[in-house]
Amino acid sequence: MDITQLSGVSSDYLNTFAKKEALVPGDDDSFSAALSTAMKSVDETNDLQNTAESEEVRFALGEAENPHDLLIAETKANVALQYTVAVRDKLIDGYKEIMQMSI
């Protein structure tokens, strides 16, 4: 998967997921491992989105001591969402390609 085309995505974040998604060639469970990793990525993205939302509420209520916490949480959530959408798009493209193959 070529991840160099993603704009605004932190390389540290991508390296973390790239290490998690590294699969051993010839492994019988490679598809299930890839699917499991993708689902974990979606869960982590959801957690980051929820954290950003709670920071927004804290900021709106005046409970936040530092507005930078809000910016950091929203940036992390945005990067995670961009990555998750890119992975989803690649999976959909792969599915479409497989469906177009003739038997």
For residue range 9-55, list pLDDT tens digits in order.
Answer: 555 655 665 555 554 555 557 878 888 888 899 999 999 999 999 99
Sign of CA dihedral 15, 16, 20, 21: negative
Tell me the pTM: 0.64
Which of 2, 10, 35, 11 is closest to 21 using CA atoms? 35
